[in-house]
Chains A and B, each alone.
Chain A
Amino acid sequence: MVSRFSHRTGDDVDEPVTEACRRKHQDRWRRRRLLQRQLHDGAALRISALTLRLGLLEHRAAPDGQAVQDCIGELQDELHAVLEELRDVAAQIYPPLLDEAGLGPALREVVATLQAPVAVVASEERFGPAAEGAAYFAVLQCLAAQPAGAPSTKVVVRREIDTLMLSVSGVDAFHAELIDDQVRPLGGIVEVITGSPPGASTVIARIPCE
């Protein structure tokens, strides 16, 4: 059974998203991407450069300065930990790999960290920062909501003229709401093909894209 996903029930029909709303949310995604780049080109690069300066200091420390050298090594490890935390933050703002390589590589990289098997079918094609960002986080939230031991999930990303088509199969029909939250502000439309059992449903989103 295919049905158009709607937050509301009965006579209360979904309001179409206005052009102004779409533009506002597109800008929001661009800002997120910009913030992530700023983290990379600013703070992260400075900290990496600091580890080099510390290495130089270690080299110049007196040969009998083992204590100093150990201390510098510890500082470098600490800076690595700081960078790892920044990477975590960057990934939640706008994943760098999504920015640089697109949905296919970014989704494949992230599903590799999950226990449950997820297949990703996506070409190298690009869709613009807003549609890609919304699709990426929609998939992530959907996968995070999957119960432990759920059967395999399949994610397909494809272009349909000026629309990004995202399909997530093998998920609960209720997950449509998670996907809808991400894609609706951009004028996206979500459909649900309810499976049997309901945990084997397919959610299809179509998002206007660049």
Chain B
Amino acid sequence: MRVALAEDGTLFREGLLMLLRAAGHQVVCSAADGDELVALLTTTPADVAILDIRMPPEPDGGLITAERLRAAHPDLGLLFLSHYAESHYLMRILEIGTESIGYRLKEKVGSVEVLTDTLNRIGNGEIVIEPVLAKRLVERTRGDKKDVVAALSDREQEVLRLMAEGRSNNGIAGQLYITPKAVKKHIANIFVKLGLHIDTAAHHRRVLAVLTYLRSQRNQG
């Protein structure tokens, strides 16, 4: 995969470059800030851009850079790396795009397998969300809807959490050692119990449905 990288921390940038190369990816350009990356990518094609959220242009250059990149290269995948998994940033990232986009903790992409899996999923158009954050969002659900989430079976809650991570049906099936057909059934049950009416075939829309639902819980207060 052709990868572009912008990160202002030299140590982390160099480490990520080495790991990307070891994983067999082609690093087409790397920059210490967002503006430099945008300039480099006007002439260099890439499949996914990896962006540090907190880098120049300050304060959250990764997000501004992503907006510009998405406008100039709609097919370019975007992977945000951050030291913090905050739902505030997740919502802002999903405002930039809901396809080929990801948000992960910096210390959680430190293996060839995880890094490649993350990049491949983004390359395939999926949303990838840091599991810690997805789990927190599901567990933090409050108020009336907390009872609704509590009404889900343990298995359904696991499926919901993996849905919030952006996993596909097959991905969820693989994680839980069940058949994709069983996953579909669980999802149908979840949607009924949560009162959501969304085309279950549209993968990213269903992630959004979950997140929108969870966000509405947060904002209701």
Contact = CB atoms under 8 A, between A and B. Distances in A.
Main secondary structure of the interface of B (DSSP, over half): helix
Interface string A95-117: 01100110001001101110101
A45 B12 contact: yes
Main secondary structure of the interface of A (DSSP, over half): helix
Interface residues of A, number: 40
Interface in B96-150: 105-112, 115, 140, 142-143
A178 to B, nearest CB: 20
A210 to B, nearest CB: 16
Contacts of A60: 22
B198 interface: no
A78 B83 CA distance: 16
Contact of A97 (B11, B23, B88): B88
A126 to B, nearest CB: 10
A49 B142 contact: no
B179 to A, nearest CB: 28
Interface in A18-69: 40-41, 44-49, 51-56, 58-60
A118 B221 contact: yes
Nearest to A119: B221
Contact of A45 (B23, B83, B109, B112): B83
A112 B12 contact: no
Contacts of A44: 83
Interface string A196-207: 000000000000
A72 to B, nearest CB: 8
Contact of A109 (B59, B83, B86, B111): B86
Given A52-B15, A100-B54, 5 more contacts: A45-B9, A49-B14, A51-B106, A52-B110, A119-B221
